[in-house]
Homo-oligomer: A and B are copies of this chain.
C-alpha cells in the first residue's frame, strides 16, 4: 500500500465528513450512537472472532500477559462498550451553545458559539475499546475522527469499525465521520500527525514514549498527557487524621494511575507526629518507601526506607513505591513542586486558610487541591461525563478533557447593517 496517498484520501474524506457532522442535530448524533451500539450488539460474534485471531497472533508473537489482557475482548467488555455509547448519547450536546452575548457601542450584537474542532486524530495502543470510546466522544462533539490503534489489535479494530460504519449508515450519516486506519505501517502515523490541512488536533493515548515521539514529530496541535508526578504536602497546621487519610488514599487507592501521589512532602513541624504512623500503614500495604535523610531518621527502624535519589523526585512510579521528603515549610514545598512536578495534580493538607489559598494560587498544576485526595483529578469525578484524556498542557485544554476539550468557540455577530466608521 502506498501510505501517503492513502492517508491523504482518509484526510480529504474526513474533512468533507467533518462539515456534515458539525452541522448534524443532537438527535441525529444520538441516534447514530445508539445505532452503533445496536450494530455492536448484533455483531458480537464477528468482533469476538476477529479479536480471537488478534489474541492468537499476539501470543505467537510473544506479547506479555498484561498486553494480552488489555487486547482481549469478551461479552462483558462488549457490554461495557455498548453501555458507554448509551452514556455518551445522554450527555448534553456542547455544540451550538451561544454565550457571552453583548451589545457593542457600534450597535452589533456579539457572542460566542461553541463549534467542533473539525477532524481529530487519535493514536492509541492495544485496548480495542478505545476505538468506541474515542469515536463516540468525537461524534458527540461534532468532529470527524481518524483512529489509529495498536497494530496488535488491527483485526478487532476493523471489526469494531464495521459496526461503527453500520450505525452511521443506518442513521443516514457518512461513513467517513469515523475512519480506522487499515494499515499497521508506522509511516501512517507520521502522515496523520503532519497533514495539518486535514487534521485539526491529535490526541495520543498511551505511554510516555509514544506521546513524546508524537509531540516531537507532530505538525498538528497535540492535546497530550505526559506524566503524573503528583505531590501531597502535609502542612504543620494540618489536621492529623485528615492528613493521614488523604496521604494514604492518594498513594494506595490505585497504583497505576496518573493521579496517584508519587511524592509526599511533610512539614518539619508535624513530621514526628505523622510520619511514623503513615510509614507503618504504607508498609502494611506493601508500599516501598524512599526518603530524604530526615524521613529515614523518623521512620521506625523496623520499616525499610531506602535513601531517595534525585531520580526519585523525578519519577512517576505508577507502582507501590513512594518517595518522601521532609520540608521546612510551605515555601520549600512549593519550590520542590515547581522543580519536580509534572504539573498534573498537587494537594495541600492544612487548616490554615491563607496557606491553602497561597498553595492554590502559586502551584502551577492542572489541578490544585486543598484538603482532598489527588485521586479526584478525573473527568468523571469532575462531572464531565466522559474523558478523552487528561492534559498536562496549558494551551487549549488543561486537566481532565471531556467533550468541551474537543470543541472551540467562534465569534458571532448579529448586525443590522452596521459598517465601520
Report A's interface with B, CB cutoff 8 A: 19, 22-23, 96, 102, 104, 106, 108, 110, 113, 115, 117-118, 200-201, 215-216, 219, 221, 239, 241-242, 245-246, 248-250, 253, 338, 347, 356, 360-362, 364-373, 375-377, 381-383, 393-396, 398-400, 408-420
Contacts and interface: CB of A to CB of B under 8 A. Distances in A.
A364 B395 CA distance: 21
A369 B117 CA distance: 19
Given A221-B221, A398-B409, 15 more contacts: A19-B362, A104-B381, A104-B382, A110-B382, A215-B219, A239-B417, A246-B419, A249-B419, A250-B419, A372-B419, A375-B420, A382-B411, A395-B396, A395-B408, A398-B408
B375 A410 contact: no
Contacts of A356: 414
28 contacts: A22-B362, A96-B361, A102-B383, A113-B361, A113-B368, A117-B394, A117-B395, A200-B394, A242-B417, A245-B417, A246-B417, A356-B414, A367-B411, A368-B411, A368-B412, A368-B413, A369-B415, A371-B415, A371-B418, A372-B414, A372-B416, A373-B418, A373-B419, A376-B415, A376-B420, A377-B411, A398-B408, A398-B411
Contact of A364 (B22, B96, B347): B22
Contacts of A395: 117, 200-201, 221, 395-396, 408
Contacts of A367: 410-413
Nearest to A393: B221
Given A108-B376, A394-B408, A420 B364 contact: no
B398 A410 contact: yes
A370 B418 CA distance: 10
B106 A381 contact: yes
Residue in A108, A381, A411 whose Cβ sees the most chain B Cβ within 10 Å: A411
A381 B410 CA distance: 16
A80 to B, nearest CB: 20
Contacts of A347: 413, 415
A104 B383 contact: yes
A253 B420 contact: yes
Q: Is the interface of A mostly helix, strand, loop or mixed?
A: mixed
Contact of A371 (B201, B375, B410, B416): B416
Contact of A360 (B113, B200, B219, B364): B113
B365 A410 contact: yes
Contacts of A117: 394-395
A208 B215 CA distance: 24
A270 to B, nearest CB: 16
A246 B106 CA distance: 14
Contacts of A381: 104, 106, 108, 420
A110 B371 CA distance: 12
Contacts of A22: 362, 364
A347 B364 CA distance: 40
A200 to B, nearest CB: 6
Nearest to A378: B420
A345 to B, nearest CB: 8
Contacts of A419: 245-246, 248-250, 253, 372-373, 375
A362 B410 contact: no
A108 B221 CA distance: 33
A412 B359 CA distance: 11
Contact of A414 (B221, B361, B371, B393): B371
